[in-house]
Structure 1
Amino acid sequence: MKRIVSLLISLGILIILYSQIDLVGLAEIFQNCDRQWMIISLGMVIPITMITGWRLQQLMPQGRRLRFAEANRLILAASVLNMILPSKMGDIAKAYFMQQRGHLSGSLSLSLVVFEKTCDLLSLLFWCVLGLIVYPEKDLLFWTMTLGVSLGWIVGLLLLGSRQLADYFFLLGRKVAPKNLREKLKNLQVSWGEMHEYFWGDQTQLLKITATSVLIWFLHLLQIWFFILALNAWSPFWVNLALSPLAILAGLLPLTFAGVGTRDAALILFYQPYFDATTAAALGLLCTSRYFLPAVGGLPFLGQYATVGKPKRSTLSQD
């Protein structure tokens, strides 16, 4: 039922947006696009996915390693579920897939994925804070967002670095959360503690994963800037560092289907000083392709991971 509601919300937002957009002009934008930049920008899905898969390999504990191809299959299968589940919950399902295939225990696999997504979120916020600081035309709205994103990034770093602060945060959350969420927060607290103990035990590994996450999100934001160039539009790259993460964060709100609608509206709102709403709508479609293309690539693998059965250990191997 929730999926139907989110789909209806997405459709409602899109109907409102596209009723105010020149659809003929939208088609002409794609017809007249820079095809070389379009191929380059869409093709960046491949190296981004491969680097993300390599990072998943590096996250595995000593003695437990994934083949590079297997890591990429897990990433792609999770991408399918991210298209239909709110707030990137498909990545949490990846923890179940890893347990089912015998790669890790359930608690450690969840800890690994929680750490992976925490690094992703903090890396996205890092680039967003950097972009907002240098953004040239900040009004009250942008000063407010700069403060909010900066505080979110700092709090995230503190929670990642301090086990005691994280425990206090979870205890406070369990007190104020609805009854049906308290058990989930308790399980997440246990996983977070395991993650903290495991990853902070190896500072070199932690630095490598952090640097890789920052690089991955730089490539994501670079891809969106290439989309803008492909549409024969323009905004300075440092402006894109501020605006595109805000649109991505809007798409993470658990209101719509795969962020469709909220992300498009945010792109139209934030990029209006640089190009018109029709071009921003085209950019929204290309940003959706960033999620759609890996999901299509993951469809052949989803069935083998979704099959419920006894965990297998045959896929574990050394590279």
Structure 2
Amino acid sequence: MQKIISSKTIYKTIIVSLLAGLIIFYLFKTLIDIRDFAEVLKRVDILLLFSTIIVSFSVPVLSAFRWQFVLRLVGHDTSFKQSFSIVMSVWPLSILPGRVGDFARSYPLRNQIEPMGTAGAVLFEKVIDVASLLLLSAVGFLFLGHYGYAVILFLLSTMTIPMLFLTRSVSRFLPQSLSLKLRPIFTHLEFKNLKSKYFLFSLISSLTNWWVSVLMIWFLYDAFGASLPMTTTAAYFPLAIFIGLIPISIAGLGTRDSALIAFFIDKATPAQSLASGIGYFLIGYILFAIIGIPFFIKNFFSTQHTDSQKAN
């Protein structure tokens, strides 16, 4: 795991994220009336909140299927059980900015796949996610009648994956020492993989996964008293997710919320957007990070103990 994410990097990113989060919430304090926020929390619809939690449990399942399909896409056969265990084990690391904790997935697979090879699979998965989010947003804008935005986002979506393969080609012209280091990442990234059924399965599972996220935020806004049109939610929430990936906060907390406030200012009060954003963070990240702790211990600490015994 140290080859992918060093402990020094983890400590730095957590400290920077905490400081950035404090600054962002200080700004929120100047923009949002605390009494309004408290009132929004008191009036929450518990049934809708519970419905959001129920819907959210499909996210780790879909994430596990996506990871399994991506690994098979790049030539590594993994069972759903192992894929699910790995996905859950890195959820506690989701607090790292930009979801870089996902690259720690290489550790449980270190005896089967070269770490940098797993990093290539993670990179491929992230590119598929970007394409899926752009496509969902494009469909949302299409139904809103904003055809210009829809076309731009659709073109960006279709260009995203080919750009990854272009990067693979460009990497050959880098200095030899750097090119050799990057080679394992790009080994299995070939155009022929796009014809594989596993690419289609990966894309479908990614689209479904992010659609569930759209449903979650839609339910949350409704729970906190703001009724958003589904098309508006589908158009703007993927963009808010992108903003949340800017590596200056913990799991997008603060950056994603500020985007929600700006995007839905005509549909919801800032207090409702903040409550919905925090709810999404608590359910989508903290809840599954807690559930993932036993998987984290099993895959990262138990395996270390086993390896040390074998070495002795």
TM-score of the superposed pair, with normalisation by structure 2: 0.82
State whether residues 134 and 238 of structure 1, in contact with CA within 8 Å, keep that contact through their aligned partners in structure 2: yes
TM-aligned CA deviation for residue 271 of structure 1: 0.6
TM-aligned CA deviation for residue 197 of structure 1: 6.4
Instruction: Tell me the equivalent position of 2:259.
Output: 266
1:51 corresponds to which of 59, 62, 75? 62
State whether residues 45 and 294 of structure 1, in contact with CA within 8 Å, keep that contact through their aligned partners in structure 2: no
When residues 16 and 136 of structure 1 are mapped into structure 2, their CA distance, relative to the original with a 3 A threshold, is farther
Q: Does 1:245 align with 2:245?
A: no
Equivalent runs, 1:171-210 vs 2, <5 Å:
183=178, 187-188=181-182, 190-196=184-190, 199-200=193-194, 203-210=196-203
When residues 129 and 137 of structure 1 are mapped into structure 2, their CA distance, relative to the original with a 3 A threshold, is closer
TM-score of the superposed pair, with normalisation by structure 1: 0.80
Q: Secondary structure at the match of 1:64?
A: coil
Q: Which amino acid aligns with 1:64?
A: D
1:224 corresponds to which of 200, 214, 217? 217
Instruction: Tell me the equivalent position of 1:124.
Output: 133
State whether residues 65 and 80 of structure 2, in contact with CA within 8 Å, keep that contact through their aligned partners in structure 1: no
CA RMSD of aligned residues (A): 2.9
TM-aligned CA deviation for residue 91 of structure 1: 0.9
Instruction: Tell me the equivalent position of 2:14.
Output: 3
Deviates further, 240-249 or 89-98: 89-98
Q: Which amino acid aligns with 2:273?
A: A
For residues 56 and 122 of structure 1, the distance between their equivalents in structure 2, rounded to whole angstroms, comes to 16
TM-aligned CA deviation for residue 92 of structure 1: 0.9
- Count, aligned residues: 291
For residues 157 and 109 of structure 1, the distance between their equivalents in structure 2, rounded to whole angstroms, comes to 18
Instruction: Tell me the equivalent position of 1:135.
Output: 144
Q: Which amino acid aligns with 1:80?
A: P
Where relative contact order (Cα < 8 A, 6+ residues apart) is larger, the structure is 1
For residues 112 and 184 of structure 2, the distance between their equivalents in structure 1, rounded to whole angstroms, comes to 20
State whether residues 49 and 72 of structure 1, in contact with CA within 8 Å, keep that contact through their aligned partners in structure 2: yes
Q: Which amino acid aligns with 1:122?
A: A
When residues 43 and 103 of structure 1 are mapped into structure 2, their CA distance, relative to the original with a 3 A threshold, is farther
When residues 228 and 249 of structure 1 are mapped into structure 2, their CA distance, relative to the original with a 3 A threshold, is same
For residues 21 and 150 of structure 1, the distance between their equivalents in structure 2, rounded to whole angstroms, comes to 35
Instruction: Tell me the equivalent position of 2:280.
Output: 287
Deviates further, 217-226 or 191-200: 191-200
Deviates further, 85-94 or 57-66: 57-66
For residues 246 and 189 of structure 1, the distance between their equivalents in structure 2, rounded to whole angstroms, comes to 32
For residues 14 and 148 of structure 1, the distance between their equivalents in structure 2, rounded to whole angstroms, comes to 33
What is the aligned-residue identity percentage? 24
Instruction: Tell me the equivalent position of 2:310.
Output: none
TM-aligned CA deviation for residue 266 of structure 1: 0.6
Instruction: Tell me the equivalent position of 1:18.
Output: 29
For residues 306 and 55 of structure 2, the distance between their equivalents in structure 1, rounded to whole angstroms, comes to 34
For residues 123 and 306 of structure 2, the distance between their equivalents in structure 1, rounded to whole angstroms, comes to 21
Q: Does 1:155 align with 2:159?
A: yes
Q: Which amino acid aligns with 2:94?
A: N
Gaps of 5+ in 2: 1-11, 308-312
Instruction: Tell me the equivalent position of 1:90.
Output: 101
State whether residues 125 and 150 of structure 1, in contact with CA within 8 Å, keep that contact through their aligned partners in structure 2: yes
2:48 corresponds to which of 26, 30, 37? 37
For residues 305 and 55 of structure 1, the distance between their equivalents in structure 2, rounded to whole angstroms, comes to 19
Q: Secondary structure at the match of 1:65?
A: coil
When residues 167 and 105 of structure 1 are mapped into structure 2, their CA distance, relative to the original with a 3 A threshold, is closer
Instruction: Tell me the equivalent position of 1:315.
Output: none
Q: Which amino acid aligns with 2:138?
A: V
TM-aligned CA deviation for residue 241 of structure 1: 0.8
Q: Which amino acid aligns with 1:153?
A: S
Instruction: Tell me the equivalent position of 2:168.
Output: 167
Q: Secondary structure at the match of 1:259?
A: coil
TM-aligned CA deviation for residue 74 of structure 1: 1.4
TM-aligned CA deviation for residue 133 of structure 1: 3.4
TM-aligned CA deviation for residue 186 of structure 1: 6.4
When residues 204 and 146 of structure 1 are mapped into structure 2, their CA distance, relative to the original with a 3 A threshold, is closer
When residues 271 and 194 of structure 1 are mapped into structure 2, their CA distance, relative to the original with a 3 A threshold, is same
Q: Secondary structure at the match of 1:267?
A: helix
Instruction: Tell me the equivalent position of 2:291.
Output: 297
For residues 76 and 256 of structure 2, the distance between their equivalents in structure 1, rounded to whole angstroms, comes to 41
Q: Which amino acid aligns with 1:39?
A: F
Q: Does 1:77 align with 2:122?
A: no
TM-aligned CA deviation for residue 167 of structure 1: 3.0
For residues 86 and 230 of structure 1, the distance between their equivalents in structure 2, rounded to whole angstroms, comes to 28
Q: Secondary structure at the match of 1:43?
A: helix
For residues 167 and 25 of structure 1, the distance between their equivalents in structure 2, rounded to whole angstroms, comes to 51
For residues 250 and 291 of structure 1, the distance between their equivalents in structure 2, rounded to whole angstroms, comes to 16
